[in-house]
Amino acid sequence: MNKIRLAHNATCEVCGKKQAVVYCDGCDKPLCEECRVFDIWCSGCGYGEPHVFCKACNENPKINIWKGL
Ligand SMILES: [Zn+2]
Ligand SMILES: [Zn+2]
Predicted local confidence at residue 35, as pLDDT: 97
Predicted local confidence at residue 42, as pLDDT: 66
Classify 58 as helix, strand or coil.
Answer: helix
- Domain limits for position 27: 1-69
Which ligand does the CA of 10 lie closest to?
Answer: 1
Residues 1-51: tens digit of each pLDDT: 457 899 999 999 999 999 999 999 999 999 999 999 987 766 666 677 788
**Nearest CA-CA partner of 17 in 3, 35, 5:** 35
**CA atoms of 47 and 24, how far apart (whole Å):** 21
Q: Distance, CA 3 to ligand 2 centroid (Å)?
A: 14
Structural domains of the chain, count: 1
Neighbours of 56 (CB within 10 A): 15
Predicted local confidence at residue 2, as pLDDT: 57
Q: Distance, CA 2 to ligand 2 centroid (Å)?
A: 14
**Nearest CA-CA partner of 23 in 1, 13, 63, 15:** 13
Q: Has residue 56 got a pLDDT over 70?
A: yes
List, as ranges, residues with CB under 5 A of the ion ligand 1. Answer: 12, 14-15, 18, 32, 35
Predicted local confidence at residue 1, as pLDDT: 47
